Chains A and B, each alone.
Chain A
């Protein structure tokens, strides 16, 4: 009997003995009614708009060109009109052609974005993005993140999923079919690279969840308020300068001007710590912008995570500010990834000693506590030593991909510690504001930034429950059969039973499970130590096929037991 015939009888027996599929009619209809596919349909582009210039030069916006808004029109749906999401895109590098398919009322339409330009794109199934020229392209699609492509890459929209709340986007996802080339989607917390023939699914900012709509709306309001305040400020400054001009017309004893602040040894915006191999990369980053964003973001991020850890509702305005500041930091990620700077994933590259040290220096500078010449010399030596160790870690072959993560994260924590040891107490407080580092992802100078990407919280009461969940996830990932799944579960249960402290109960934010949970610092590292034990045991157990072993070695998720 073939395996499939056996499975068929098995499925039939399950059915005869009571296994019934749930009735999901109501759920499906509810989703159909509440998600974009059913309720948000834009009329096709009117012909008169086809000739209008869509490109908006972003020279005046500078880095803010990457601050893109996504919005959806809520016109009454004509019966069979296609679903369209109006997105705003910005080309950060390279040229990209954005195509909108023909509709009943308008022919196919395309526009080309060149570096620094941004434009509206009516995304719908069949629409496409093509990178032009020989250098590939980087395209910001906020709040989805940044798409980086190799030359001559074509991405075609295959499906779109948006959830609406109060008339604005609450969550969203676009799935592209990669028709040619290679594309990478990255945000600060996630990255995925796919090649031709595969699908690339990009999702609205992680953790946005149902708050994304409010965030987007509130963000719009704040941007508008900011513009109004700037206008008022300019008017007041004009009035003030007129008054000052009038007052200085009277004769007066001239006083010597107060001495200017001591000029920094390093020109504004240039990196403090250099590396000949990455000179061009470091020079291409606006460290002033990074410094001011980091200085502002550090305390806000720590406070936000602290509030979450204490079960409080975080301030909406603060969350919006953090998103905006994070966007500024995010702008350098495509350059970092392209430069070949070694690191485990985007956040590994982002936290490379060279980047972290320059971020720290610019942040201290922006906060009025710049590094002294002695400190710079000491830190330069640290950067050199730890960059070398980072490279060695990256170049060393590892049996399991996660071993590299463990080594790199431990090295970076030592590096941060060494840097902090060479700072004044005031500078240390800026590096680690109150609350920073207690939860993964709450500090810009902690390996938690890396852990938070790969950790997957598995709330469980004991080793058995943990093993059941972890083995189910592995069953899906590795394609285990019943016998293998039972064997894997037994190994995990045995190792987790002796390696995990089941009395160390999780905080409420740790018990959410999955990628949306926030974990206390240190949990990821402890879980990985245990996981590497059971992965090694599985490797030697003879349970897995060579193909499954290969997949196990490449596994990049950490199943973190969170006792409850």
Chain B
């Protein structure tokens, strides 16, 4: 059984809180809900008897608790078991080996390679938080067109990331 003195507790929270929060956002939690559930996840971890088997096992334990808390925050479960399995498989592919750092680095490089119009759409949507109407007005397409464009861009980025990680 692992006891968590204050210094260790702070270290555990600092090391894993971003992962837990991002995982919750990935599942669909709003930022506010992700904040709350991240707190609850660590409180459960720090209060419960836990046999520490290293950072990976700890991260997996935290994700499981976070996922359960997320599901319990709804009256009706928002995701079916099969969807959760798919989500976890996708997330496992992301965090493999180094917690997702190389995946994000690959994504950064792929974004830099996008053509001007796609890159501008990404910038407007993700950096400037512009609405689809605003993006459409700048790019000369309708709101539905923006949605399709962003989806195509993400698809292209996924393929690009996959290629880079494979090489």
By CB atoms of chain B within 10 A, which of A7, A9, A32, A38 has the most? A9
Q: Is A59 an interface residue (CB 8 A)?
A: no
Q: Is B151 an interface residue (CB 8 A)?
A: yes
Residue pair A79, B3 in contact (C-beta under 8 Å): yes
**From residue A317, how far is it (CB to closest CB) to chain B in Å?**
35
A23 to B14, CA, bound (A): 8
**From residue B44, how far is it (CB to closest CB) to chain A in Å?**
7
Residue pair B43, A31 in contact (C-beta under 8 Å): yes
**From residue B34, how far is it (CB to closest CB) to chain A in Å?**
7
Q: Is A80 an interface residue (CB 8 A)?
A: yes
By CB atoms of chain B within 10 A, which of A32, A37, A199, A551 has the most? A32
A10, A11, A31, A159: the one contacting B39 at CB < 8 Å is: A31
By a CB distance below 8 angstroms, the chain A residues around B117 are: none
Residue pair A7, B26 in contact (C-beta under 8 Å): yes
**From residue B97, how far is it (CB to closest CB) to chain A in Å?**
16
Interface size counted on chain A using CB atoms at 8 A: 46
Q: Is B107 an interface residue (CB 8 A)?
A: yes
By a CB distance below 8 angstroms, the chain A residues around B25 are: 11, 14, 19
Residue in A closest to B72 when the chains form the complex, CB atoms: A199
Residue pair B43, A28 in contact (C-beta under 8 Å): yes
**From residue B82, how far is it (CB to closest CB) to chain A in Å?**
11
Q: Is A1 an interface residue (CB 8 A)?
A: yes
A10 to B87, CA, bound (A): 14
Q: Is B167 an interface residue (CB 8 A)?
A: no
**From residue A255, how far is it (CB to closest CB) to chain B in Å?**
71
Segment of B51-59, B134-142, B154-162 in the binding face: B154-162
A241 to B151, CA, bound (A): 92
Residue pair A476, B14 in contact (C-beta under 8 Å): no
By a CB distance below 8 angstroms, the chain A residues around B75 are: 477, 551
**From residue B17, how far is it (CB to closest CB) to chain A in Å?**
6
Interface residues of A in 199-238 (CB under 8 A from B): 199
Residue in B closest to A36 when the chains form the complex, CB atoms: B47
A9 to B151, CA, bound (A): 10
Residue pair B9, A16 in contact (C-beta under 8 Å): no
A25 to B83, CA, bound (A): 31
Given contacts A17-B127, A24-B13, A25-B10, contact A9 B73 (CB under 8 A): no
Residue pair B158, A476 in contact (C-beta under 8 Å): no
By a CB distance below 8 angstroms, the chain B residues around A25 are: 10, 13-14, 17
A7, A23, A32: the one contacting B46 at CB < 8 Å is: A32
Residue pair B154, A9 in contact (C-beta under 8 Å): yes
Mask: chain B, 1-23; 1 = CB below 8 Å from A; 0 = not: 10100100110011001100110
By a CB distance below 8 angstroms, the chain B residues around A15 are: 22, 104
Mask: chain A, 386-426; 1 = CB below 8 Å from B; 0 = not: 00000000000000000000000000000000000000000
The 8 closest A-B pairs by CB, nearest first: A21-B21, A479-B78, A17-B126, A4-B90, A37-B47, A9-B154, A17-B127, A25-B13
Q: List 22 A-B contacts (CB under 8 A).
A: A1-B155, A6-B155, A7-B26, A9-B157, A12-B103, A12-B104, A14-B25, A14-B126, A16-B126, A21-B35, A28-B42, A32-B9, A32-B43, A32-B47, A33-B6, A38-B47, A80-B1, A80-B3, A477-B75, A479-B28, A479-B79, A551-B76
